[in-house]
């Protein structure tokens, strides 16, 4: 079952995240190009599909559709050209959709597209979406970000001193993953004050 582990699936899992004490890492970034000017498509990540996305979706709409599925928490979506996801193959312009995964860590599986609802009027055929990995993610995907212990009864991370829940980007947030490194914990702050 989702959220459980152990030989009998009775132990809860805790949130996973990036270790805040490692540096020089990058988020996964994938790109999509879409040739179509009618209809809609879906995107699938880790076997969970979005609702239908219109061919003329804005980057904000596409980002919301991806973040609505349970396998994605936070992505950044941007377009290279224009403000709609797909363009007809005869238009002379190709928009590249960039999807940066913020809270899903490591080298990720590719997004897949169902284009059966897309149409390219310039060719009279079904639309086409191509997906490519632009940057392989190198951030860790570790339970409690490697900076806490998992309480298997509650499924909550108990963070080590100096660490707290992050937003998936290393800032303080609500992920529950111990991925935020505080500037100082109480003991360090007391030492710093005493030394000053």
Phi, psi (rounded to 5 degrees) for 132: -140, 150
Q: Which residues contact 186 (CB under 8 A, 6 or more apart)?
A: 161
Query: What are the structure tokens assigned to 156, written together?
Result: 């909550």
pTM given for the model? 0.84
Torsion of CA 160, 163, 164, 170, to 10 degrees: -140
Q: Which is nearest to 181 in space by CA: 167, 196, 195, 193?
A: 167
Q: How far is CA 173 from the centre of its chain?
A: 15
3-state secondary structure of 151: strand
Helices (H), the chain: 59-67, 186-195
3-state secondary structure of 48: strand
pLDDT of residue 185: 55
pLDDT, one tens digit for every residue, the chain (196 residues)? 678 888 888 889 999 999 999 989 999 999 999 999 999 999 999 999 999 999 999 999 999 999 999 999 999 999 998 899 999 888 777 889 999 999 999 999 999 999 999 999 988 999 999 999 999 999 999 999 999 999 999 999 999 999 999 998 889 999 999 999 987 655 555 554 555 4
Helices (H), 84-170: none
- The number of beta carbons lying within 10 Å of the beta carbon of residue 27 is 22
Q: Which residues contact 191 (CB under 8 A, 6 or more apart)?
A: none
């Amino acid at each position: 079952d989702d959220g459980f582990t152990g030989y009998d699936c009775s132990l809860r899992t805790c949130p996973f995240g990036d270790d805040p004490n490692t540096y020089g890492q990058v988020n996964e970034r994938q790109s999509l190009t879409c040739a179509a000017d009618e209809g809609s498509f879906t995107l699938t990540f880790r076997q969970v599909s979005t609702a239908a996305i219109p061919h003329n979706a804005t980057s904000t709409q596409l980002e919301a559709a991806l973040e609505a599925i349970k396998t994605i928490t936070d992505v950044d979506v941007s377009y290279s050209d224009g403000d709609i996801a797909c363009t007809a193959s005869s238009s002379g312009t190709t928009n590249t959709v960039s999807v940066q995964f913020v809270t899903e860590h490591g080298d990720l599986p590719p997004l897949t597209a169902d284009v059966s609802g897309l149409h390219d009027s310039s060719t009279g055929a079904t639309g086409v979406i191509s997906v490519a990995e632009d940057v392989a993610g190198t951030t860790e995907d570790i339970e409690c970000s490697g900076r806490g212990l998992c309480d298997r009864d509650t499924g909550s991370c108990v963070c080590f001193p100096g660490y707290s829940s992050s937003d998936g980007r290393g800032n303080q947030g609500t992920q529950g993953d111990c991925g935020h490194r505080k500037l100082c914990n109480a003991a360090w702050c007391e030492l710093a004050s005493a030394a000053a």
